[in-house]
Structure 1
Amino acid sequence: MDTFFEIPSVHHRSRRNLTNQQRQLIFEMLLMKVQQGKLKRGSIPEVAAAFGANPKIVRRIWQRAMACFTNGLAIDVSSKLPTHVGRKPKQFDVNRIAEIDLRQRTSLRSLSMALNMPKTTLYRRVKKGHIRPHTNALKPYLSNDLKRARLQFCLSMLEPSNLYTQPTFKNMYNYVHIDEKWFFMTKETERYYLLLEEHEPLRTCKRKQFITKIMFLAAIARPRYDPSRNQEFLGKIGIFPFTFTEPAKRRSKSRAAGTLETKAVIRVTKEIIRTCLIENVLPAIRAKWPRCIDG
């Protein structure tokens, strides 16, 4: 005959970490139960039951507060878990990195191999700010003649009237800055945000390696403001693309023969830029330039 024994259930109090706000409230509640400079008997179990905490934790909070008071320090009963839990960081001298050649410091993997330590250790040092990542750009080499030319250009932008008293730069009100820039008409991969029922857009190109580029010429000047800081002149002259139109030589499914098509100028020469300045930029400056020139 089988015999069954009933095992009594044991209720263990779940030990949970108290927040700093709860620990401060526990200390304030214990402080209210102080009578004649001493904590009232039975206060610690009573407060522990109110917060659902272990009485030992409440007693340690009170002891820490009294130790701070005895030593003349500010009462601090916050948790020490953020600085006492988890795996301790691996110690190493970050100054060793300066002794390694720059060619071995282009990635965390190569740097970790040179230091003979895990890559994650270096990654944590980067997150903490002990190691500074730097993106280095290649700069053009300047000869003495180029440096002299740049210095002369900077000096030419100073006002001649107060050059020897208090040097100041010109107000640049009678200057127009122009610059050219190539742009691809599209990118090989593009990101779109679509609805669930939307179809994916179809983008086609003859060759992904040779996407059409268009050069734009932009002309800007310094904006003008009146004494009340109201804008009189925006400063934007215009943006002009290097394109041309020609009739289609043959018929296709998308257009008939003779239809005017806009095409990009593949090779922009000095003559083409001069033509753009004469036909587009100068008329735009005459049309948009403020009539009252104060400089």
Structure 2
Amino acid sequence: MYNVIHIDEKWFYMSQKSQKFYLFPWEDEPYRACQNKNYIPKMMFMGCVARPVLGTNGEILWDGKIGMFPFTYTIEAQRSSKNRDRGTPETKAIVSITREVIRAKLIEEVLPAIMAKWPANACKEIWIQQDNAKPHISVDDAEFRAAATKNCFNIRLTCQPTQSPDLNVLDLGFFRAIQSLQYKAFPKDTKELLKSVEDAFSSL
């Protein structure tokens, strides 16, 4: 289990569909402008964690957290507004998550992060376990294999076995905790949403 990394994807929303606030009599009620609940901005993240490594006295030698990788792209603003000038870089969420997007995220961000954060004395034959969602790449994808065998690493993909609870480590563990902390930050735009999720992941 020490050489198994779990990855999974999760949509994080700018805010909940309904939230409860306790206000003093002199405070104004919070205001949110949105066409309806289906138009609340959202962003997908890929979570990547491994089993923590503990010392003989129970101290944490490595927390096992590889990272939370957002599916975003950057474009320049086409028009000027009161919030930013024309040409200012803007971060946008990728809404359509395809196999090509997943492959690029794994090769360009996840694999370099694993190689950088993996303990130096740990086994470099690593298994990345993913669920069986359709956008995921195959376990023998040629482009992934070429990138996963660099720097003396041998990183392989494997799919979640049927009826396996393994990926609950993310679905019921990290993601639930991150979401509860992220909602407390009340992000107002994409950059604040990115920061709130990353801060919540780091604080766990």
Normalized per residue, which structure has more strand?
A: 2
What is the distance in 2 between the residues matched to 1:290 and 1:209?
42
SS in 2 for 1:209: helix
- The aligned counterpart of 2:19 is 190
SS in 2 for 1:197: coil
Aligned pairs (5 A) from 1:142-181 = 172-181=1-10
**In the TM superposition, what is the alpha-carbon distance from 1:184 to its structure 2 partner?**
2.0
- The aligned counterpart of 2:146 is none
* Structure 1 unaligned spans of 5+: 1-171
Cα distance change, pair 215–283 in 1 and its aligned pair in 2 (3 A): same
Aligned pairs (5 A) from 1:1-295 = 172-293=1-122
SS in 1 for 2:74: strand
What is the distance in 2 between the residues matched to 1:285 and 1:261?
28
Q: TM-score, length-normalised on structure 2?
A: 0.56
SS in 1 for 2:105: helix
Report the identity percentage.
50
* Structure 2 unaligned spans of 5+: 125-204
What is the distance in 2 between the residues matched to 1:294 and 1:275?
25
Query: For residues 166-224 of structure 1, what are the alpha-carbon distances to aligned partners after superposition, in whole Å with 9 as ceiling and x for unaligned?
Result: xxxxxx11111100112222223221222222112222224433222211100000111
**In the TM superposition, what is the alpha-carbon distance from 1:266 to its structure 2 partner?**
0.9
Structure 1 letter corresponding to 2:24: L
Query: CA RMSD for the aligned pairs?
Result: 1.8
Query: For residues 259-295 of structure 1, what are the alpha-carbon distances to aligned partners after superposition, in whole Å with 9 as ceiling and x for unaligned?
Result: 1111110101111111111121112112211111169
Q: TM-score, length-normalised on structure 1?
A: 0.40
**Residues paired across the two proteins, number:** 124
Structure 2 letter corresponding to 1:193: Y
What is the distance in 2 between the residues matched to 1:205 and 1:257?
25
Query: For residues 109-143 of structure 1, what are the alpha-carbon distances to aligned partners after superposition, in whole Å with 9 as ceiling and x for unaligned?
Result: xxxxxxxxxxxxxxxxxxxxxxxxxxxxxxxxxxx
Considering only CA atoms, is the larger Rg found in Structure 1 or Structure 2?
1
What is the distance in 1 between the residues matched to 2:33 and 2:87?
24
